[in-house]
Amino acid sequence: MENAFLNFYKSIEAIFGEPNKNRLAFAEKLGTQGIDPEELVGFKEKERIIDKIYRMSDIRNKKAAHRKSMPHKKRFISYYEFIDLQYLANFLIHTVLNERVKK
């Protein structure tokens, strides 16, 4: 499951680049690809797209620390969260592809 999470995070990173400290610049990057960073997404708990991407980045950073930053049990994500974030990656990829086809 951890590898799958890292792979769908990498798919987002490949399209938009790595989220950096300048959230405004990253939001503009999303916008140029046809993504509204303020759009609320999620199954149970709605969250802005940009916030969800930054949360994914935080999770990825903790998981990529090779078990040095925190114990494995604290790096766990639930199946619900996994599916929710996987759906986000799917949504972003399809939205960007649809925008590119229109051009």
Cβ-count burial 25-55 (b if 16+ within 10 Å, e if not): ebbebbeeeebebeeebeeeeeebbbebbee
Phi-psi region of 34 (alpha: psi -120 to 50; beta: other; left: phi over 0): left
- Domain count for the chain: 1
- pLDDT over 60 (residue 101): yes
Q: Residue 54 in contact with residue 19, Cβ under 8 Å?
A: yes
- pLDDT over 80 (residue 93): yes
Average pLDDT over residues 19-35: 93
Which pair of tokens denotes residue 7? 């792979």
Prediction pTM value: 0.83
* CA–CA distance, 44 with 74 (Å, rounded to integer): 22
For position 90, what pLDDT does the model report?
93
- pLDDT over 80 (residue 16): yes
Structural domain of residue 37, as residue ranges? Answer: 2-102
- pLDDT over 90 (residue 37): yes
pLDDT tens column, 60-84? 887 665 555 545 555 567 888 888 9
- Measuring CA to CA, how many Å separate 39 from each of 1, 3, 36, 71? 27, 27, 5, 34
For position 75, what pLDDT does the model report?
54
* CA–CA distance, 41 with 20 (Å, rounded to integer): 21
**Confidence tier at 96 by pLDDT (50, 70, 90):** very high
* CA–CA distance, 80 with 83 (Å, rounded to integer): 5
- pLDDT over 70 (residue 15): yes
